Amino acid sequence: MAITVVGSVAYDSVETPSGRYDRELAGAATYFSLAASFFTDVRVIAVVGDDFGPEQEAVFHARHIDITGIERAPGKSFFWEGSYLDNLNEAKTHNTELNVFASFEPKIPDSYRDSQFLFLANIDPVLQRRVREQMPDVKLVAGDTMNYWIKDHRPALLEVLKGLDILLINDTEARMIAGNNNLVQAARGVLSLGPETLIVKHGEYGATAFFSEQSFSKESQSPHHAFRAPALPLEEVVDPTGAGDSFAGGFFGYLASQPELTPAVFRRAMFYGSVLGSYACERFGTERLQQLTRKEIDERFLVFRELTHLD
């Protein structure tokens, strides 16, 4: 079933210990949709500026991603500049220019209306909510956010959380939302705010899912019940930018491709998320995702199984 994703389609300038690049196509919705496109149809809602041309469109078209909902506005696309020189697990932001995103009013094309899956990538929670409200009948809604919205836009974020089935964030964000340093207690706090499932991404250590009693993905009554997907120990993390969005794309794309949502499907989706996240880090920007094949994805899925399974 098709996924509609709303989020940034942007340009990044990034420096890592492996090198640097300037103003390359990036953005959460770009990483997400490239990753999800290996599993299902993906439709993007975003706004771009005059700097988005045929070359960038071709990246989406090559993966059969629907960009009817990418609006063109006069001005420049969203731009982010950051580095990971001291710590590959955490970006240092040098510059953020909202540009055309500052006055973005997301509109859902009619051809997107039958999407059963909705992903609200990390943008202003006011925009996330507006998209959510325009698509009341979707089967499953997942979303992401970041420290900036948690800290300074809490009331708007809390409204978004009420409408989410699955929230994907990192350790620090989970602890910030709940105001609790213990991850299990923080997870319970986040789940009490709306989402039935919380996925906490640990960077190079993988990701853990926590479940409320209502979650389709919960299958055990164990008080310890959670599910942990590993990350792949990588010889060289060339560029961690977009790894979390690629995880989300692999995860949600796989879910959307399955006839039924079961705990077993959920677990496999977590592994596919890790697979896409690991590939994203192997080259600069979206390069690896653009060249990836489904065969490589399935091969690495088996590597992940071998990495964690007893037999």
Query: Which residues sit at the interface with its own copies, rule CB under 8 A?
Result: 182-185, 187, 202, 204-206, 208, 210, 220, 222-228, 230, 232-237, 264, 267-268, 271, 303, 305-311
When the beta carbons of 21 and 301 are compared against its own copies, the nearer one is 301
116 Cβ contact list (under 8 Å, min separation 6): 1, 2, 138, 139, 140, 256
CB atoms within 10 A of CB 71: 17
Cβ-based nearer residue to its own copies, 119 or 211:
211
- By beta-carbon proximity to its own copies, the closer residue of 228 and 283 is 228
Question: Least distance from C-beta 273 to its own copies, angstroms?
Answer: 13
Smallest distance from its own copies to CB 232, Å:
6
Question: What is the rounded distance in angstroms from the CA atom of residue 262 to the CA atom of residue 215?
Answer: 10
Token reading at 271: 């592994």
Q: Note whether 201 and 173 are within 8 A (CB).
A: no
Characterise 96 by phi-psi region: left (phi > 0), alpha (psi -120 to 50), beta (else): beta
Give, in degrees to the nearest 5, the angle at Cα 123 between 272 and 154: 110
Q: How far is the CB of 181 from its own copies (least distance, A)?
A: 8
| Minimum distance, C-beta of residue 231 to its own copies, in the bound complex (Å) | 9
> Based on CB atoms, which residue is closest to its own copies, 74 or 310?
310
As measured in angstroms, the least distance from the Cβ of 96 to its own copies is: 27
Residue placing its CB nearer to its own copies in the complex, 101 or 227: 227
Residues whose CB is less than 8 angstroms from the CB of residue 26 and which lie 6 or more positions away in sequence, other chains included: 10, 11, 12, 80, 241, 242, 285, 286
Residues paired with residue 44 on neighbouring β-strands, in sequence order: 5
- Shortest Cβ 278–its own copies spacing (Å): 9
Sheet holding 207-211, edge to edge: 66-72, 42-48, 3-6, 117-120, 140-144, 166-170, 197-201, 207-211, 227-229
Q: Phi-psi region for residue 291, left (φ > 0), alpha (ψ -120 to 50) or beta? A: alpha
Q: How far is the CB of 143 from its own copies (least distance, A)?
A: 22
Select 6 or 237, whichever has its Cβ closest to its own copies.
Answer: 237
Closest CB to its own copies among residues 124, 239: 239
Q: How far is the CB of 260 from its own copies (least distance, A)?
A: 15
Where would I find the H helices in 135-242? 147-152, 154-162, 171-178, 183-191
Rounded Cα–Cα distance for residues 37 and 293 (Å): 11
Q: What are the φ and ψ backbone dihedral angles of 296, each rounded to 5 degrees?
A: -65, -40
Our CB check for its own copies shows the closer of 29 and 191 to be: 191
- Amino acid code (one letter) for 165: D
